[in-house]
């Protein structure tokens, strides 16, 4: 695409869909920086959080699309460089190899150690994908090399696991890799190729081309039962769902796979793992395709239990709502007799406790140890009073009945 003198793309001239976008996310989807500017001028919030259709903020969405023009416009409009729904802008940019955006965000004051919902920081993401030069940028501005993801894996370990031994060595001992080291020769290639592939995919989609036909840079997957085989990876259905790969989940279901397929009997289903990971779009797709909302593991866990493992009201609230709407049993006990309400109370999340109580959760039913869900409510902390009020209201409602 041609660029104007100020570095912003004239997307109408490029043939991108000129339909007037209704919000910043739609404008970014259309690669339409002119519309982004117009919407901001009309008062659009540059830090809007969308937890449904886009699961992003405008800045993180633009970063994941490699749209430097929109990123610059949003930053000029005072968008926070750390604004995030699921992935901070720096992580979103790094995931697809956009080194120029990483540099731009760092200069704008982005927190180099901010992480996405899985605990993956930008440095962790660069390590996983083998983006050596991006990792170097991040390390040189102070990124924490000892910051693990939520599974406890350090950037150096995940680099090694993904076949990037030299990068792993650098992350373990940066001082051993001076600017003249052979590690840096051609090290930009991997990130550059990933960025070009992603940008081509984004522009093709904006121009209305068929997603599968146009995305020649995406791996072609074949399916055998619940296993997806690509040229560079093999993934099982449950892991695909947990990672939030909506497109691949849909393709596997279209190939005839049961939405309740698991690796072995009694293990969590795709719906359970997507609920646990906070992948709302995948949860909704699986429910629409007939996934059993009350399916239980050999330990008695349901999707509702797993959504409340380490819950966030912002991330898991919409997922609970979808599960409950689909008929999730709010009082289903796991193998220890514990119910979803106990988990919500134990993690002290009033919004989720309120949602469960309104759906019919019984705070006075006992588990095998004789404890009621109400016994799990904290006695101190910033949410203790709110939780006590919710439980007292439930108690009064039960007395009135």
- pLDDT tens for each residue of 348-361: 889 999 999 999 99
d(CA 369, CA 379): 20
Domains (range + CATH), the chain:
24-193 (1.25.40.20), 222-400 (1.25.40.20)
Here the contacts of 308-313 (C-beta below 8 Å, separation 24 or greater) are 308/340, 308/343, 308/344, 308/347, 308/352, 309/276, 309/343, 310/347, 311/343, 311/344, 311/347, 311/349, 311/352, 312/117, 312/278, 312/349, 313/349, 313/350, 313/351, 313/352
Q: Is the pLDDT of residue 232 over 80?
A: no
d(CA 344, CA 367): 15
Residue carrying the six token digits 């990123």: 71
Here the contacts of 9-17 (C-beta below 8 Å, separation 24 or greater) are 9/33, 9/69, 10/34, 11/206, 14/203, 15/207, 16/203, 16/206, 16/207, 17/206, 17/207, 17/208
Q: Which two tokens stand for residue 250?
A: 């849909």
Q: Is the pLDDT of residue 234 over 80?
A: no
In this prediction, residue 11 carries a pLDDT of 40
Q: Is the pLDDT of residue 315 over 90?
A: no
Question: pLDDT confidence of 218, banded at 50, 70, 90?
Answer: very low
pLDDT in tens, 324-341: 999 999 999 998 888 999
pLDDT in tens, 156-167: 999 998 888 999
Helices 58-65 & 68-76 angle (0-180, nearest 10): 160
d(CA 234, CA 239): 10
> Per-residue pLDDT averaged across 46-62, rounded?
87
Q: Is the pLDDT of residue 214 over 80?
A: no
In this prediction, residue 398 carries a pLDDT of 65
């Amino acid at each position: 695409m041609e660029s104007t003198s100020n570095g912003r793309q004239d997307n109408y001239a490029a043939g991108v869909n000129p339909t007037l976008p209704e919000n910043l996310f739609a404008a970014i989807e259309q690669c339409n920086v002119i519309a982004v500017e117009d919407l901001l001028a009309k008062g659009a919030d540059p830090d809007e959080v969308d937890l449904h259709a886009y699961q992003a903020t405008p800045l993180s969405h633009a970063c994941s699309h490699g749209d430097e023009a929109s990123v610059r416009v949003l930053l000029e409009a005072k968008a926070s460089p750390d604004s995030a729904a699921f992935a901070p802008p720096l992580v979103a940019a790094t995931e697809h190899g956009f080194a120029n955006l990483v540099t731009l965000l760092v200069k704008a004051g982005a927190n180099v150690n901010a992480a996405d919902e899985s605990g993956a920081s930008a440095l962790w993401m660069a390590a996983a994908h083998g983006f050596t030069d991006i990792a170097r940028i991040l390390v040189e501005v102070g990124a924490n090399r000892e910051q693990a993801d939520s599974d406890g894996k350090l950037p150096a370990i995940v680099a090694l696991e993904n076949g990037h031994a030299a990068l792993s060595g650098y992350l373990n001992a940066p001082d051993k890799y001076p600017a003249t080291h052979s590690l840096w020769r051609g090290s930009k290639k991997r990130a550059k190729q990933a960025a070009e592939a992603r940008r081509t995919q984004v522009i093709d989609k904006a121009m209305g081309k068929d997603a599968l036909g146009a995305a020649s840079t995406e791996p072609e997957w074949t399916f055998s039962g619940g296993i997806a085989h690509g040229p560079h990876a093999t993934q099982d259905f449950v892991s695909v769902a947990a990672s939030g790969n909506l497109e691949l989940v849909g393709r596997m279901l279209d190939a005839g796979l049961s939405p309740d397929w698991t690796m072995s009997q009694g293990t969590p289903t795709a719906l359970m793992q997507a609920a646990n990971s906070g992948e709302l779009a995948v949860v909704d797709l699986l429910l629409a395709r007939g996934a059993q909302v009350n399916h239980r593991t050999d330990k008695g866990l349901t999707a509702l239990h797993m959504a409340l493992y380490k819950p966030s009201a912002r991330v898991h609230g919409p997922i609970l709502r979808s599960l409950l709407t689909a008929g999730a049993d709010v009082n289903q006990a796991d193998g220890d007799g514990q119910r979803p309400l106990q988990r919500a109370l134990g993690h002290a999340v009033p919004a989720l406790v309120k949602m469960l109580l309104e759906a019919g959760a019984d705070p006075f039913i006992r588990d095998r140890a004789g404890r009621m869900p109400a016994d799990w409510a904290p006695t101190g902390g910033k949410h203790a009073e709110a939780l006590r009020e919710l439980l007292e209201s439930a108690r009064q409602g039960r007395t009135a009945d």
